[in-house]
């Protein structure tokens, strides 16, 4: 099952969502997004903990992001 986390869940005013099959994949996407979207060179340990805590299983088998395409 895919996992997802929202930038908003960690206190950012941002609609970015990272999806992946593993926590590692999501952490990578978040690091990339933090750099390009928020100008962070790296994610501080404190924020990384929040990100990990915000990762949850994607609900159901629908793919709402595909409908928007």
Q: What are phi and psi of 43, to 5 degrees?
A: -85, 120
Q: Determine if 47 is a binding residue for Zn ion (CB under 5 A).
A: no
CB of 14 to Zn ion, least distance (A): 3
50 binds Zn ion (CB under 5 A): no
d(CA 53, CA 29): 15
Query: How is residue 1 written in tokens?
Result: 């099952």
Residue with tokens 């501080």: 44
Residue 53 touching Zn ion (CB under 5 A): no
What would the x/- binding string for Zn ion be over residues 6 to 45, using CB under 5 A? -x----x-x-x--------------------x--------
């Amino acid at each position: 099952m895919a996992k997802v986390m929202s930038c908003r869940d960690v206190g950012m005013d941002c609609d970015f969502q990272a999806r992946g099959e593993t926590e590692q994949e999501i952490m990578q996407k978040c690091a990339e997004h933090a750099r390009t979207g928020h100008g962070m060179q790296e994610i501080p340990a404190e924020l990384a903990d929040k990100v990990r805590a915000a990762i949850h299983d994607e609900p159901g088998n629908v793919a709402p992001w595909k409908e928007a395409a």
